[in-house]
Amino acid sequence: MDYEKFLGENSSIIENLSQRELLLFPRDDFTEISVSPLERTVMPSLSVREVTDAKWLLTQEALAFYTAPHRVELEGRCSLDIIREGFLFLVPETSLLDNFKSMKKRYCVLRKDEDGKVLLEMRKSQFAALTHPPMIVQQAALSTSKKGRNVLEVSGSGAERRSWVLAADSDSDLPRWLIEIDRALAGDCKGYLFSYNEGSPDMNMEVS
């Protein structure tokens, strides 16, 4: 079954489901960590000859692993793509004074491009086309209406100087969006690589 094709063909049905949020899936974001034993044996139990004389390749690789020099490596990469995503309500700025009846539900994606710019995309559903050009986010702030409804005001940069007013089903979601936006705007890390060798700590950082 093609999971993404199924969601795309049935997006209108899924949007009307009461538990549609259960179908959201996280983007792949893995970090590979290889950790050797914390302590080495005082007297090696195997010699190099025993490794080379092993008949099976699997045996050779296993013996080579256990006789290799002590080394701890951490290799990872900061996410350049999706930072946060989910459904929010787009509130017309003229309705900010407590009239939320004209709100439009949109699937919002906060991401970072290769140039380090923070972008906010908006779609009618998770797999639909963009309803607006992506906004280059300059700043964001929380505000409260007269009736106590929390909204997130996102301002863009560039010639248009657009701004979006966003609301959520739960008021606790908006501070999380604000935190992620502030973190993305404050940091410009694109990648890192750390290595540590026994006896001589050597930490290197590569930024690409």
Which pLDDT does position 86 carry in this prediction? 92
In a domain, 119, yes or no: yes
In a domain, 14, yes or no: no
The total number of structural domains in the chain stands at: 2
- Sheet with 192-197: strands ordered across: 32-34, 71-76, 192-197
pLDDT of the chain, 208 residues: tens digit per residue: 676 787 778 777 777 777 666 655 555 555 666 665 555 555 556 666 777 787 888 887 777 777 666 555 544 444 457 899 999 998 876 545 555 667 889 999 999 888 888 999 999 988 888 877 899 999 999 988 777 788 899 998 876 678 898 999 887 889 999 999 998 888 744 433 333 333 333 333 333 3
71 with 83, same domain: the answer is: no
In a domain, 18, yes or no: no
One-character DSSP codes across 139-183: EEEEEE-TTS-EEEEEEE-SSS--EEEEE-SSTTHHHHHHHHHHH
Contact predicate 133/125, CB 8 Å: no
98 with 149, same domain: the answer is: yes
Domain limits at 57?
32-76
* HSE toward the beta carbon, residue 104, CA cutoff 13 A: 14
pTM of the model: 0.50
Give the ranges where the chain is alpha helix by DSSP (H). Answer: 3-9, 11-15, 48-53, 57-67, 173-186
102 with 172, same domain: the answer is: yes
In a domain, 37, yes or no: yes
In a domain, 128, yes or no: yes
Tell me which residue of 141, 150, 122, 151 sits closest to 185, measured CA to CA.
141
Read off the CATH number of the domain in which 154 is found: 2.30.29.30
53 with 105, same domain: the answer is: no
